[in-house]
Chains A and B, each alone.
Chain A
Amino acid sequence: MSSVELKSIVKKYGAVTAVASIDLSVESGEFVTLLGPSGCGKTTTLRMVAGFIRPTSGQLYVGGSNMDGVPPHKRKVGLVFQNYALFPHMSVQKNIEFGLKMQNTPFEERKDKIIDALDLVKLRHLEHRMPSELSGGQQQRVALARALVIRPDVLLLDEPFGALDKQLRDHMRIELRELQQKLKISTLFVTHDQDEALSMSDRIVVMSEGQVSQIGSPVEIYEKPKTRFVTDFIGRSNILSGKIETEKSNKTCLNAEGLKLPNVSKTSHKSESILVMIRPECVLLKKPNSKNKITNYKNTAKILSIIYLGSIIQYKIKVNNGPALIVTESNVGYSDPKKFSLGDTAEIIIPENAIYLIPG
């Protein structure tokens, strides 16, 4: 049984369509992320699940029951906001206790559950602090404990780490995912940060302008994007328009704006216009004239710019008689003999499995 299920959910504000017919589900124990640029309808979708916004049309199920007309406090959802939303006039312990009190949990049971929840987020020692005495990361952990202590059917998080600095964000990411897997709690997570989505999710729902662009595992979304939008949004990529051509040898090849590539498509329809995606990290740069095995598709390029990013080095190269490409290489050390300088010529190798075609 799905923990959350949205069937053709639409939300309109007058003439503005915030969410245009969404279908998605969160299976029991699954971590699903809504990923998309600002304004694509992620928050609206989450708030409809929580019950703060009434869908214009469509069906919504939480824990198997139809949520039509069910107010937020009768839905078993745990909510975590970007601004933490801790009750400022209550201690950490009282914040966590609030949901239990609303459920009329007996006092003794409340005490045990609060302790468990505090242990879960490793904040036992801070139970008597006020929210204003906590750091951002600690506040967000309290918010998480507060949402989890009532054992919701689904945990909803709206950009929960947006207000934290990068290091803490990376840390919280790991912590939340571990917690989620330990508790096996169904989770719907909203973010515009692709790294967050890729690193935490079982499935990612990429959204664009109120619609679902693609649903898939992080690997599918990154390696097999189905639309131009997903390709552009997830990771950096080189996107070239391609044509299938016949060579002298009567074999077909792929011409991507002048870059000659093997024909990885199953068809040989010459008229077909397609988009060719090549991830920057899949392109290999070699010094020319090295004794590499020469392939049919030998392209050379000139180094236009070099950006040093620490763990990786990013090059912009111009393929001879072809397009400019972004290429990244992991930095294996300062004394790397393969290092290039501005203006150098390099031989580029693009493995067949690094070439991905999207219907144009």
Chain B
Amino acid sequence: MSEKKTMVSLNNIYKHFGENNVLNGVNIDIRKGDVVVILGPSGSGKTTLLRCINFLERADQGTITIDNYTVSSKEKKQSKILALRRKTAMVFQQYNLFRNRTAVENVMEGLRVVKKVPKAEARKKAEAALDKVGLLDKADFYPAQLSGGQQQRIGIARALVMEPDLILFDEPTSALDPELVGEVLSCIRDVAKTGITMIVVTHEIAFAKEAATRVIFMEGGVVVEDGTPDQLINHPENERTQQFLARINGAAASA
């Protein structure tokens, strides 16, 4: 494992909103092919951290390195930020599919606009990506005509088709009806198997156990504990991790 190269490196990330210090020096190195699940209570800064990685939110301090390309939070050149973003893709909690584009057009959009792929070729690639998430038959449907689970799988196809170095998932299943969670998680599991580097923020402990290669527990804007799924979920050392897991398990048991 250790000979695998570092793909992502988050260095000393700080971020505040007004009085609220949301990220207080986050340092994470991620190797190529790692599937990192980030756990943590609400408000611990998980979403903010993901959004700082692709500069949807600009960190106050720190640097982001992806595939040996480093951008500082102080970077002024928009072109550098765009270049970093183009190494990543994001799957949103609310899917955020383009409402005015059909499923296949949603997947093609990034290829056409960012990678300047010709239309026919982009369509071919997009259809292949839709096939991977099992939705080729919905290619010509608009997002409004699809279920949440289907929309999210198209969101995943839209991310995959860009062949990014890193995919960011922000609670990809938490807006879904319970009966649709499974199809999306299994889709993400399939993606994880392809060896692409991923960071997944989720409250699905079972998913973390089974699909993650590494689990990080965040609280108060810092990394509290970091380890393999077995270490962190079955044998957490930190007291706060233990409390968090006990709460989640309690909630799951009472649900």
Q: Real complex partners, A and B?
A: no
Contact residues of B with A, CB < 8 Å?
none
Residues of A within 8 A of B (CB): none
